[in-house]
Amino acid sequence: MAKTRTEKENIVQSLGKLFKQNAGIVFVAYSRVSVKDMLALRRAVKQSQCGVSAVKKTLLTRALVIAGDTYDVGTLNGSVFVGYGSDQVALAKVIDRFRKEHGENIKMLGGILDHTAVSSEQIMSLAQLPSRMELTAQFVGTLAAPIVGFARVLSGTMQSFVYALSALQKKKAL
């Protein structure tokens, strides 16, 4: 069913606001993807605190103007959906996982990161990065490593002392 002009303006305004609030936008072409699979994608994207929307390219162009972003939407071929979120890595990972599951039916076209247009290759390399939680865990592990090592050294010294006393006791007992 065709949308009225007012409905289209509301879509453009809400997308423009979403694009302005979120640091990452990913454009993805899709074909022959079932409704069930698209719903699964929406759920996965929502779990990573991101969003996804299928939108016409003319409305997308207008929403990007409202957000202050520039991207040549004319280069996007086929049916397009847009993923957006504040955590660019999580968004790229979810969409890349979906792309791997559906093969040639899903194709990364590019995106906008921190209001700068990027290629699909850059989005794909972003998807290979560890998540924010993984990076935080690695950082905490790196900070804790010297303390853990120091504790082991002290523990080893005490163990050696106890072994020496035990050996001395056994020697005197003989």
Mean pLDDT, all residues of the chain: 86
Q: Is the pLDDT of residue 145 over 70?
A: yes
Give the CATH number, domain containing residue 98: 3.30.70.1730
82 and 98, same domain (yes or no): yes
Report the distance separating Cα 123 and Cα 83, nearest Å: 12
154-to-142, 157, 161, 162 alpha-carbon distances in Å: 20, 5, 11, 13
Q: In this predicted structure, what is the pLDDT of residue 75?
A: 83
| 27-45 mean pLDDT | 88
Q: In this predicted structure, what is the pLDDT of residue 174?
A: 67
96 and 13, same domain (yes or no): yes
Q: Which domain holds residue 147?
A: 131-174
pLDDT > 70 in the chain, percent? 99
Contact present, 85 and 42 (Cβ < 8 Å): no
Q: Is the pLDDT of residue 44 over 80?
A: yes
Render pLDDT for 47-79 as a digit per residue (tens, 0 to 9): 988 888 888 888 988 998 888 888 888 888 888
pLDDT > 90 in the chain, percent? 6
123 and 96, same domain (yes or no): yes
Find which of 1-5, 70-74, 121-125 is predicted with most confidence, using mean pLDDT: 121-125
**In total, how many domains does the chain have?**
2
Name the DSSP letter for residue 117: E
pLDDT band, residue 21 (cuts 50/70/90): confident
Q: In this predicted structure, what is the pLDDT of residue 1?
A: 65
**Three-state DSSP string of 49-94:** CEEEEECCHHHHHHHHHHHCCCCCHHHCCCEEEEEEECCHHHHHHH
Q: What is the dihedral of CA 50, 130, 128, 88, to 10 degrees?
A: 30
Q: What angle do CA 136, 137, 138 make, to 5 degrees?
A: 90
Report the distance separating Cα 117 and Cα 138, nearest Å: 30
pLDDT band, residue 165 (cuts 50/70/90): confident
25 and 47, same domain (yes or no): yes
Render pLDDT for 86-107 as a digit per residue (tens, 0 to 9): 888 888 888 888 888 887 788 8
For residue 124, which of 95, 101, 102, 104 has the smallest C-alpha distance? 95
Q: Is the pLDDT of residue 167 over 80?
A: yes
Q: Is the pLDDT of residue 11 over 70?
A: yes
Phi and psi dihedrals of 72, rounded to 5? -80, 90
34 and 55, same domain (yes or no): yes
72 and 157, same domain (yes or no): no
